[in-house]
Chain A
Amino acid sequence: MFKFKPVGWMALLSGLALFTLAGCNAKPFDYQPTAGEMKPGPGVFTGEEGKLTIYDSKKGGIFPKESDAETSGTKTAQTNEAAGTTAEAAAGSQGTAGEFKEFQEFQQWQNEKAQFHEYQQWMKSSEGSADLKEFQEYQQWQKSAKGSTDFKEFQEYQDWKKSGRSSAEYKEFQEWREFKAYQEWKKGQKK
């Protein structure tokens, strides 16, 4: 059909075209070969980042997903801004700071896991049950005192957490948070 000769004319023309176009204020972009390579971009189970991050010293999470982390950062930032309470917002690093704070909480939970399990056992006892009832009433009072806006945000936050974590682990983590709140309350009682 066609008669091509194995000469470098095409490469030469391409090269000339490239150098000409390179002078036209083109911005470099990060082209990664796609033909024959693994699909770039998000993954079904690994979120926007497209990879399951087992360890990341910057993001500070175990098995974090980029999409969740981003959502976390945004929501946390929104909550903080609405409350007008955070110094992190002023620093312009709400997302990262929020994620890191959560990670620190997670690490603390892991460290105090054994103590928490003791607490759970104690809760099953009769003494625990009486105290628990009082504690739950205290929590109800807190919610009503704080008003509905905060509670709504809290619920949104919980919804987000449920979508990003396995339910069993998340439940235990929430229980641990309640436990920490309980500890604070107990301290207040002693005073």
Chain B
Amino acid sequence: MHKNIQKGFVILVLIAAAMLAVSPANAVDFAISGQIDRAALYADDGHTAKWFFVDNDNSSTRFRFSGSNDFDQGLSVGILWEVEMQSNPSNTMNMDLTGDTTDVHFDERKIEFWVGSPYGKIWLGQGDMAGNSTSEVDLSGTEVAAYSSVVDVGGGFEFQKNGVYDGITVGGSRSNFDGLSRKDRVRYDTPTIAGFYASGSIGNSSIWDTALRYAGDFGWAKLAAAAAWSDYGTSSTTNDNIFSSSASILFDFGLNFTASYAYRKQNATDPYNIFGKVGYQFLEKHAASVQYSRTENLSAKDDKGDTFGVAYVYSPWKSVEFYGTYYLYMLDRDQGSDPDDINVGMIGGRVKF
């Protein structure tokens, strides 16, 4: 596998070099964009309640450099460099925290270039694996407040019973198993045919994945869907592979439905997650949704991590969103008594600049 990756890399570099050598540039652009996404978060674990001022990890504060260069014969080359900087990420807040988190730094998200052609697109660098976001297709318009990755808001809070914390966090008891996230990899996307396109990527430690996506507009509704198979290669001793999928439909009168199903082959437990969301977009600037999800077998065999969520997003201007969300995190333990539920509410805003 390693040899194949090396060969693939060499071939990709040669192809890119050839494209650059034979085709004169006829259009170039380079741009900067970014966003700030901050919120106030209130959490109550049944024993302790606190306010936190956080960076919303649903869509973190970040900026990016992007550029592309069009060449003759439908060829193009582009770059993407995206970094995030979060002070108090919402997914790491916990009741032991005093003051702010201190190690605020830039985190890499995407550092890659791509080569586009009529035969598809090749990506090289740190970026989305083919399966990334295949559990997160969502047309509700409330993703900034709540979506299938319910741990992005209160993932760091720990369950307790009678003041005794059992070491299991929200993030440790539920997941949407969204493929292999972002990695250093090479990725290929096919051209889109009748709304469908396929992707495949290979990364370090022999990880690989393949995905199929669809997006269609029927006039009376838009439908988007994705599914992926991801293999951990030699990168994990406990996890083997992931199947992830999701679909979302948005009717032209604003009603929308979203669902996701994913599971991970893992030593002795094989956790899975199922997620459903109903939303409504109204008066052009408003979107609201209700969602429910269950992850089973993640914190322990037959444990159930249920999450109920409500979200509302108001977009007074295209560049600005204000939102509010409420999550109820529950844990049904197979062994021992169930801990208290955790309530989390968050209000904030996202401003693109």
Interface residues of A (CB under 8 A from B): 1-2, 4, 6, 8, 10-11, 14-15, 17-18, 21-22, 24-31, 33-39, 41-46, 49-59
A10 CA to B66 CA, complexed, in Å = 37
Q: Is there a chain A Cβ closer than 8 Å to B42's Cβ?
A: no
B59 touches A36 (CB 8 A): yes
B29 touches A22 (CB 8 A): no
Selected contact of A26 from candidates B133, B149, B216, CB within 8 Å? B216
B215 touches A31 (CB 8 A): yes
B353 touches A2 (CB 8 A): no
A38 CA to B192 CA, complexed, in Å = 23
A116 CA to B298 CA, complexed, in Å = 72
B245 touches A38 (CB 8 A): no
Known pairs A35-B148, A36-B59; A55 contacts B30 (CB<8 A): yes
A10 touches B215 (CB 8 A): no
Selected contact of A33 from candidates B27, B137, B294, CB within 8 Å? B137
Q: Is there a chain A Cβ closer than 8 Å to B152's Cβ?
A: yes
Q: Given A1-B306, A55-B29, 10 other A-B contacts at CB below 8 A?
A: A11-B227, A26-B195, A33-B133, A41-B318, A41-B352, A43-B33, A46-B352, A52-B31, A56-B28, A57-B25
Selected contact of B59 from candidates A8, A15, A37, CB within 8 Å? A37
Which residues of chain A are near B353, meaning CB under 8 Å? 43-46
A4 CA to B147 CA, complexed, in Å = 20
A29 CA to B194 CA, complexed, in Å = 10
Selected contact of B64 from candidates A34, A38, A41, A42, CB within 8 Å? A38
Which residues of chain B are near A18, meaning CB under 8 Å? 214, 223, 225, 247
Shortest beta-carbon distance from B131 to chain A in Å: 12
Closest-by-CB residue of B relative to A59 is: B29
B152 touches A36 (CB 8 A): yes
- B34, B270, B350 — most chain A CB neighbours (10 Å): B34
Which residues of chain A are near B152, meaning CB under 8 Å? 36
B245 touches A14 (CB 8 A): yes
B33 touches A50 (CB 8 A): yes
B274 touches A4 (CB 8 A): yes
A34 CA to B192 CA, complexed, in Å = 19
Shortest beta-carbon distance from A108 to chain B in Å: 22
Closest-by-CB residue of A relative to B271 is: A6
Which residues of chain B are near A22, meaning CB under 8 Å? 194-196, 214, 216
A29 touches B217 (CB 8 A): yes
Q: Is there a chain A Cβ closer than 8 Å to B168's Cβ?
A: no
Which residues of chain A are near B215, meaning CB under 8 Å? 28-31
Shortest beta-carbon distance from A86 to chain B in Å: 25
Shortest beta-carbon distance from A10 to chain B in Å: 4
Selected contact of A54 from candidates B32, B64, B270, CB within 8 Å? B32
Closest-by-CB residue of A relative to B178 is: A36
Which residues of chain B are near A39, meaning CB under 8 Å? 35, 59, 144, 319, 321, 350, 352
B27 touches A29 (CB 8 A): no
B296 touches A27 (CB 8 A): no
A11 touches B243 (CB 8 A): yes
Selected contact of B352 from candidates A29, A43, A58, CB within 8 Å? A43
Of residues 12 through 61 on chain B, the ones whose CB sits less than 8 Å from some CB of chain A are 25-35, 58-59
Q: Is there a chain A Cβ closer than 8 Å to B224's Cβ?
A: yes
20 inter-chain pairs at a CB distance below 8 angstroms, sorted by A residue, are A1-B294, A1-B304, A10-B261, A14-B225, A17-B247, A18-B223, A18-B225, A22-B216, A26-B216, A36-B152, A39-B35, A39-B321, A42-B319, A43-B353, A50-B319, A52-B32, A56-B29, A56-B30, A56-B31, A57-B29
A115 CA to B327 CA, complexed, in Å = 66
- A15, A33, A55 — most chain B CB neighbours (10 Å): A33
Selected contact of B27 from candidates A21, A43, A58, CB within 8 Å? A58
Closest-by-CB residue of A relative to B245 is: A11
Shortest beta-carbon distance from B23 to chain A in Å: 15
Known pairs A4-B294, A22-B194, A41-B352; A29 contacts B29 (CB<8 A): no
Convert B106-144 into 0s and 1s, putting 1 for each residue whose CB lies closer than 8 angstroms to a CB of A: 000000000000000000000000000100111100011
- B35, B215, B352 — most chain A CB neighbours (10 Å): B352
A36 CA to B134 CA, complexed, in Å = 12
Which residues of chain A are near B270, meaning CB under 8 Å? 6
A27 touches B149 (CB 8 A): no
A24 CA to B32 CA, complexed, in Å = 40
Which residues of chain B are near A44, meaning CB under 8 Å? 319-320, 351-353
